[in-house]
Amino acid sequence: MLGLQLPTDPRWVNIVEKNIEEILTDHAYCEQKAASTAISLIVSFPEYTELVQEMVALVKEEISHFKMVHDRILERGWVMGRDRKDEYVIQITQFFPKGGSRTTQLVHRLLYAALIEARSCERFRLLSEELEDKELAEFYRKLMVSEANHYTMFLRFARQYGDRTEVDAKWKELLEFEAQVMKDLGKKETIHG
């Protein structure tokens, strides 16, 4: 699915179900980070006009996702807790060497964003299929569709702005690396854990 090489063990959902407060909290931060990534791309790469336009739309969409998750936290009588460390994102975003031309840096950031969207989408799909709470499962089904579109958009921009052959080779390497990282994950009640 989505080019990912290692599917998540469905038993991860059993861990999640025991702690819905934890998954919703972590998820709320993922949506915040998605919005701030889009803002950061707007700030750093103003000359990429089409990207800027799409990122403006994305900021709005991701912040609305944040509100939806936040509302669910409040509905259950909870107050949003502090941010969790996202080991997955920390490891993934160290894959490409730092530096290079502006275009290279942009391509790397777009590929990281595509990958994080793809893995989030895969996790949401699993939640939509396996969660006992059918209302929450339906919520994740809708979000899965949005994140799949974001994955496609980021990958398309990477291919558009970078050299197609080079970008495809980098994407393949990143996917292989991600599969290695994922081998140790799938044991925590967080979106990427």
The minimum distance between CB 86 and Fe ion, in angstroms, equals 14
Structure tokens at 17: 């179900």
Phi, psi of 99 (to 5 degrees): 85, -160
Choose between 58 and 185: whose C-beta lies nearer to Fe ion.
58
Q: What span, in angstroms and rounded, lies between the C-alpha atoms of 136 and 140?
A: 6
By C-alpha distance, which of 125, 106, 120, 114 is closest to 174?
Answer: 114
- The conformation of residue 189, written as its DSSP 8-state character, comes to S
Residues from 22 through 51 that contact Fe ion (CB under 5 A): 31, 34
Q: Which of 16, 25, 65, 110 binds Fe ion (CB under 5 A)?
A: 65
Choose between 65 and 108: whose C-beta lies nearer to Fe ion.
65
Choose between 96 and 124: whose C-beta lies nearer to Fe ion.
124
Q: Which of 119, 123, 150, 170 binds Fe ion (CB under 5 A)?
A: 150
Choose between 65 and 159: whose C-beta lies nearer to Fe ion.
65
* Residue 54 sits in the site that holds Fe ion (CB under 5 A): no
Phi, psi of 109 (to 5 degrees): -65, -35
